[in-house]
Copies of this chain bind each other. A is one copy, B any other.
C-alpha cells in the first residue's frame, strides 16, 4: 500500500460524471452493508457499479474518501430531516419528541443501513467524530425545546441514547417480522415511559417508584 495520494477527489463537472459518482457510491454502500467496509475491495465496488477501477479512483482517490463521501451525504440528509422534525415537535412533551425522533431515525436507518455500518467502524477518525457530534447536537436541541423543559444534561444524554436504541432495533432486522414489530414498540414505549416518569408531578415521585433500590 503506497502512501495515500494527496490529489483531492475530483468533483464531477458534467451530468454524466455526477451520475457515475452516484452509482459508485451506491455500489460501495451496498457492499459495505453486505460484507463490511474492510472486506469490500475497491475492484469489487467498481465492478458492481459497472465502472473501471480507474474511474473509481478518478473520483475517490483513497478508499476512505468513499466512506467519507457516503457519510457526508447521509449526514446532511439526516440533518435536514431532523431540522424538519424540529419544526414539527417544537414545544411538545419530551416523550412525544422521543417518539417522533424514534420513528424518524428508524425510517432513516432502514433506508440507509450503511450509515450505521460506517459510523461504527473501529478507529476514531476526526470526520467520524464530527458527524456524531453534529447529530448529538441536533438531537439535544430537539429535546431542549421540549415542554416542560428537560435539564440540558439530560438532553445531552438522550442525544446519546436514542440513536443507540435505534441501532438495537436495526440489529434485529434479521429476526422474524413479528418479533421485530414487538421489539420496536417495546423500545419506543420504554423511552416514552422513561420521559414521562421523569417529568410527572414531582410530589408523587418518591412514593410511586416501586423499583427504587433505596
Contacts and interface: CB of A to CB of B under 8 A. Distances in A.
A164 B167 contact: yes
Interface stretch (A20-28, A67-75, A82-90, A171-179): A171-179
B35 A213 contact: no
A213 to B, nearest CB: 7
Nearest to A186: B157
A118 to B, nearest CB: 11
Contact of A196 (B167, B179, B192, B211): B211
B190 A194 contact: yes
Nearest to A191: B190
A187 interface: yes
Given A38-B38, A95-B211, A193-B211, A168 B157 contact: no
A201 to B, nearest CB: 9
Overall SS of chain A's interface: helix
A58 to B, nearest CB: 10
Contact of A209 (B120, B164, B196): B196
A164 B153 contact: no
A3 to B, nearest CB: 8
A93 interface: yes
A106 interface: no
Interface in A176-190: 179, 182-183, 186-187, 189-190
Given A38-B122, A120-B120, 6 more contacts: A36-B38, A124-B174, A161-B190, A164-B171, A192-B211, A193-B211
